[in-house]
Structure 1
Amino acid sequence: MTRLSVNINKVALIRNSRGSNQPDLVQVAKDCEAFGAQGITVHPRPDQRHIRYDDVPALKPIVTTEFNIEGNPTPEFLDLVLAHRPDQCTLVPDTPGQLTSDHGWDTVSDAPFLKDVTARLKEAGIRVSLFVDADEKMVEGAKAVGADRIEFYTGHYAHEFAVDPEQAVAAHRRGAKVANEVGIGINAGHDLNLDNLRYYAQEVPGLLEVSIGHALICDALYYGLQNTIQMYLRQLS
């Protein structure tokens, strides 16, 4: 079964809007795991508008499943990750001030940089995943620089799903075939939701993990966090 990692950025965004500790991010992470989540994901950005750098040392000791830190590998970000050593680090090519992640790495053009960063993280015992578009060359490039996994950017898939599910997933299916052939693990994330998740998981062979935050937290406003996590798990079962 594909594993579900819950991204708690939007919980932190709500907390930060009032300058207090409500909701309590640590307690929410504990509850997500108790409700069935198989991982916790955070994505600290330079402006710290949601997850803050000081959230990481508070979360690391209490996450008992898989702790995944994702973000742009700036020097500050790498210092944070290397200091706290999550189970997985997902490298994302965000620019400063970017509203949300909207594209993957060019693993060919950026190969020297990615190879160096990947080696540093793996030497620290951290599994490395690279955020990539569903492109066979980018998958091969990720393997060439030493990454353990890729994370397919699924924003385009989610946008096109309502119009033509088969066309929407076709590139991801091809990319997954290449990933399986070269021996690199497959994660996926961005705009996956209760409508499009089951189809994606069924059509992408070897999908190990999905990271879902925005849609899951939106659904939790209506269904409650425990029920929502179980609903997402059922889509993956």
Structure 2
Amino acid sequence: MSKPLIRVVLIEDDLMVQEVNKQFVERVPGFKIVGIASNGLEGLEKLRELGPDLVLLDIFMPGQNGMETLKQIRQEQLAVDVIVITAANDIQTIQTMLQNGAVDYIMKPFKFNRVRQALEQYRSLKSKLEQDGTITQSELDRLLHKKSESVGDPRELENEHELPKGLQELTMKQVLSFLVNQSSSLSAEEVAEGVGLARVTARRYLDYLEKKKQVKIDMQYGTVGRPINRYLLVAGNPNKDQKDHK
């Protein structure tokens, strides 16, 4: 029996972060983005219209910030749970958001594993609290305080490494996504053109992926000049596996 779908609204003004959040949420089975808003006022309209289970809420936004939005959600008694995803790391802000009922608080920059952990913990709590009957103290303690035991696919954990300074996770995903669809090796210049990067930038990502053994170098020699390094996603790479099984 499949788990009930958990419907999520994103309230976030940064378009790139919107896309990252959407991808992260929908990588977790059972979660679906049903609406996206760029500020608190627009977000409240989405919540009233769509009636989602969960909202991912930023704090720093134009028009109406996340702190004011969360207070209004509680004043209107909207039946929605809130996970805060924000760059705000001061104690007063964190305390205010938790006091107003945020079930989790994730600081930017963040990794997919942290978002997955928050969503899976939320799903466990929501599922238990929607059941009839009673619950023991130990069961409640486990739901409220124990981190999710589900670690997902170990191949994904291998990819959640800390990137070197200057490399961005979203760009790395774009490079991998581009390589997945290639049947032959490409030069750094071809990858740069395909992804929309400077050649030197593409080369940095490719060299890092080669170091992590996610791509291999196919060195080709011309009639004159230096050999050209060409890059190909290695067999067995989880990104390639996902494409092959679609």
TM over 0.5: no
TM-score bucket (shorter structure): 0.3 to 0.5
Which structure has the bigger radius of gyration?
A: 2
> Under a length normalisation based on structure 1, what TM-score does the superposition of the two structures give?
0.35
